[in-house]
Amino acid sequence: MSNRIDYANASPEGYKAFGGVYVNLQQCGLSHELIDLVYLRVSQINGCAYCIDMHSRDLLKLGVTVDKLVLVPVWRDAGEVFSTRERIALAWAETVTRVADTGVPDADYAVAAAEFNDKELVDLTYAIGLMNAFNRFGVTFRSIPTAAAKA
């Protein structure tokens, strides 16, 4: 795989705008681990190798165990490895990422809204939307994962 376009350098203003959303999310009050778990799950759904590599590394730096990290794709079957809040965030990430298929049902919204206040749910949804956008850049322009670049 070879990188098609370095999109951050090709359009630095656009990249900076996305970066502003990222910075806001780092300061929004949701835990960094929760946001990175959502980033990872969205990236897995979208098949963005670059983002999967990056967010896995970020989670490891935050102290997330390998046992937990490898169970993200199958979080529903991981028992108590994920907290209730994490499970609800991961379910929300899946339904929002697959919006064309799910339509984000009222039942999914009700579960998420019962756990997260309005600001938290909107910020969580910003995080999901941001990662979906970055995944599209990563896949489209063939961003090379750190592990692949080292190989």
Per domain, the residue ranges of the chain are: 11-145
- Of 71, 83, 78, 76, nearest to 116 (Cα)? 83
Q: How far is CA 139 from the centre of its chain?
A: 14
pTM beyond cutoff 0.85:
yes
| Per-residue pLDDT tens digits for 74-124 | 999 999 999 999 999 999 999 999 999 999 999 999 999 999 999 999 999
Q: Are 144 and 50 in contact (CB under 8 A)?
A: yes
CATH superfamily entry for domain 11-145: AhpD-like (1.20.1290.10)
| Per-residue pLDDT tens digits for 20-75 | 999 999 999 999 999 999 999 999 999 999 999 999 999 999 999 999 999 999 99
